[in-house]
Chains A and B, each alone.
Chain A
């Protein structure tokens, strides 16, 4: 093989697109030709630099949540009835993207959600909860001290979430983090009840017209929404609905 034959193939060879037989001839040519070898090595050097120096952009959590909710909306629209295999898939599957998308709201008790517009904030809260508990980002500030957790949000949010520790009644505060729910950054407070994690999402009250003071269930999580002092709250947990109700009433005490 001479340079005229080798030149057009050198980059394809560097890209691993040349079959073994031709690859062998090219390799032999490269050993004896400094020019072609330099071209070949330039491709490899550029690749190395691209891989180490040029950022690979991963999907932001907010986008992931919205896309997950998108799949949900469709399935809600199709009025699919959740099946057991679906229902526990988030546990078995491991992939949090999977869990995010399988979130499906159905109704407990007498609460009736009238339109899809009402479903979304709850879905997002559940998605944020499962994302946090399955991933490594449950807690950004780890502290049982409300006087440590509350100031941590200072400067990170345009509001100051109320933070109380409920360790005295068996719901210790374990920390907090920033999250993204309902199209805006929110404060996420993390509480523990034995092995169960409770996420409380706090944001200024917006135009979210989800039903208040009802316990909903989605994907095996219970969730509860209420408002207090101009703040909107979502509590999400795998805790049973009675204990979650107990937790929420304690949190609502002034």
Chain B
């Protein structure tokens, strides 16, 4: 099979997934397009080495690398601040109570904003799990971290989201109104 046939069979069907990940990482339409385009140039180069079943996770891995390279060039501060290992090392003492966990907000923009406000390392694990529905194993491959770290990061990501001040303002108001 020619390279470009492989590209069209393996890469193009996952272009939406590639763009969605890039869009959530870059949080900007144009930047996301640049990242995906760069990723596709790379994918084209290495498309000979991928096996069909893994194509989506493989492409998402490339998109993520392309994003981090882009980010290092354009927003170095963001990477330093959101570095995954530093974040994992920080201990979170706040536990999530069920009443906090019950998100009462019905404002969808708020939830999207809360996702966008998550630190990079948590945003990417959440997008891969909840939007792309990748298995822990595939997420571990894409992020190049152990499965155990996937689990802990995902738990933290969900915790942060459930406790997000953006959501809390709404939830608090809703409770106040109800009382």
Residues of A within 8 A of B (CB): 8, 11-12, 15, 17, 34-35, 38-39, 42-43, 45-47, 49-60, 62-64, 66-68, 70-72, 74-75, 78, 80, 86, 95, 97-98, 100-102
Q: In whole angstroms, how far apart are the Cα atoms of A207 and B45 in the complex? A: 30
Name the A residues within 8 Å of B169 (CB-CB): none
When A45-B103, A59-B18 are in contact, do A78 and B37 touch as well, CB less than 8 Å?
no
**Beyond known contacts A35-B98, A50-B126: 8 more, CB 8 A cutoff:** A8-B151, A11-B151, A15-B129, A45-B101, A50-B115, A54-B131, A78-B2, A98-B12
**B101 with A86: CB separation less than 8 A:** no
Contact A53 B108 (CB under 8 A): yes
Q: How large is the interface on B (under 10, 10 to 19, 20 to 34, 35 or more residues)?
A: 35 or more
Residue-by-residue, is B2-35 near A (CB-CB < 8 Å gives 1, otherwise 0)? 1111011101110110111001100001001100
Residues A63 and B4 in contact, CB atoms below 8 Å apart: no
Which partner residue on chain B sits nearest A80 by CB separation? B2
B161 within 8 A of A: yes
B115 near A54: Cβ-Cβ < 8 Å? yes
Partner of B130, one of A12, A50, A80: A50
Dominant SS among interface residues on chain A: helix
Within the complex, the shortest CB–CB distance from B138 to chain A, in Å, comes to: 11
Q: How many pairs, one residue from A and one from B, have CB atoms within 8 Å of each other in the complex?
A: 132
**Complex alpha-carbon distance, A62 and B36, angstroms:** 12
Q: Is the CB of A71 within 8 A of B24?
A: no
The chain A residue with its CB closest to the CB of B113 is A54
User: Is B37 in contact with A67, judged by CB distance below 8 angstroms?
Assistant: yes
Which B residue's beta carbon lies closest to that of A83?
B2
Q: Complex Cα distance A95/B16, Å?
A: 14
In the complex, chain B residues whose CB is within 8 Å of the CB of A53: 108, 111-112
Q: Which 8 A-B pairs have the closest CB atoms?
A: A38-B98, A53-B108, A42-B101, A101-B8, A97-B12, A59-B19, A75-B4, A57-B23
